Chain A
Amino acid sequence: MSVSEASASDAPSSGRVERHLLIDRVYHWSTAAIVLALMGTAFLPILGWKFEWVSLHWMTGIALVLLILFHITRALAWQDWRVMMIDVGDVRDAWRRVARTFGGSAPPPGKPGKYNILQKLYHLAVAILVLSIVASGLLMLLKIDTPLWRRDPYWFAPETWGVIYSIHGLASMAMITLLMIHIYFPLRPDEWWLTRSMFRGWISSKEYLDHCDSSRWAASDGH
């Protein structure tokens, strides 16, 4: 059997393939709630909704920092971080797909592993933006009084503060674009199998065999 010819024997007999553990789903939905809260406290005042947003924003931001530290630690220590890395097979299959879409005679693209190349690129983009936002946001905390520290705006020159604030603002606005895309894809019927898995944690054996290459992502039913 070639690597792309997955058969029913590659899927667990339970009929379910575990995709997201409960802890990862809790992390995902917690992050979603935190990001929406951060966007609300950031952009609603700009759009004219006046409320005391600064405290809400920085405290929610600290919660996001903790979630990201949890995610990075878990990805490096307990998960296989390589599933999110773009590999040669991803690039080859993406090229074949584009070539065939435009009428070329490339061989059929293979199936991806757990994540396809667009999901990996999306994750990379979000990682760059969120880390930029978090790093600049942590520095911006130096300019506000909190119960834990007193403000000290003299850490940086005004020009440097301008760069820090610009990075925070531009990356935050770019997150709106990525968030819109992130909401769009799970709503598409052809992506519902992935959407369901972020609620219940698993995909069916048929969905696994239809969409994934078992040699690139070995199935497990979690037992």
Chain B
Amino acid sequence: MHLFRFATSIYGDSDVVIGASWDLLPWFVAAGAVFIIGHAIAKAVVGARGRSD
């Protein structure tokens, strides 16, 4: 997996960055999902603990 997209420079002797890699797209979606699931679990645990006190 690459962080960036590359293209050959106009001189043909090197690669230049042309933008972010779209391979990262699922990772950003996954980060959102992890936060949401983690927060929901944490709130449920803290809520359950609060009710039992």
Residues on A facing B (Cβ under 8 Å): 43, 46, 101, 158-159, 161-163, 165-166, 168-170, 173-174, 176-181, 184, 188, 190
Q: In the complex, which residue of chain A has the Cβ closest to the Cβ of B9?
A: A158
Q: Is the CB of B16 within 8 A of A159?
A: yes
Q: In the complex, which residue of chain A has the Cβ closest to the Cβ of B4?
A: A166
Q: In the complex, which residue of chain A has the Cβ closest to the Cβ of B36?
A: A184
Q: Is the CB of A158 within 8 A of B19?
A: no
- Which of B16, B36, B43 is close to A162, meaning CB atoms less than 8 Å apart? B16
Given A158-B10, A173-B25, A180 contacting B17 (CB threshold 8 A): no
**A47-B10 Cα distance, complex, nearest whole Å:** 28
**A81-B16 Cα distance, complex, nearest whole Å:** 42
Main secondary structure of the interface of B (DSSP, over half): helix
Q: Is the CB of B20 within 8 A of A181?
A: no
Q: Which of B1-53 contact A (CB under 8 A)?
A: 4, 9-10, 16-20, 22, 24-25, 28-29, 31-33, 35-36, 39, 43, 46
Q: What's the nearest-Cβ distance from chain A to residue B51, in Å?
A: 14
- Chain B residue numbers with a CB within 8 Å of A184 are 36, 39
Q: Tally of A-B residue pairs with Cβ under 8 A?
A: 60
Q: Is the CB of A181 within 8 A of B32?
A: yes
Q: In the complex, which residue of chain B has the Cβ closest to the Cβ of A174?
A: B28
Given A101-B46, A158-B9, A176 contacting B32 (CB threshold 8 A): yes
- Chain A residue numbers with a CB within 8 Å of B32 are 176-181
- Chain A residue numbers with a CB within 8 Å of B18 are 158, 161-162, 165
- Which of A162, A166, A176, A188 is close to B28, meaning CB atoms less than 8 Å apart? A176
- Chain A residue numbers with a CB within 8 Å of B20 are 165-166, 168-170, 173
**A162-B35 Cα distance, complex, nearest whole Å:** 30
Q: Which 3 A-B pairs have the closest CB atoms?
A: A169-B20, A180-B32, A162-B17
- Chain B residue numbers with a CB within 8 Å of A188 are 43
With A158-B9, A166-B19, A181-B35 given, name 19 new contacts (CB 8 A).
Answer: A162-B16, A162-B18, A162-B19, A163-B17, A169-B19, A169-B22, A170-B20, A170-B24, A173-B20, A173-B28, A176-B25, A176-B28, A176-B29, A176-B32, A177-B29, A180-B32, A180-B36, A181-B36, A190-B43
Q: Is the CB of A46 within 8 A of B9?
A: no
Q: Is the CB of A173 within 8 A of B24?
A: yes
Q: What's the nearest-Cβ distance from chain A to residue B24, in Å?
A: 6
**A106-B15 Cα distance, complex, nearest whole Å:** 55
Q: In the complex, which residue of chain A has the Cβ closest to the Cβ of B46?
A: A101
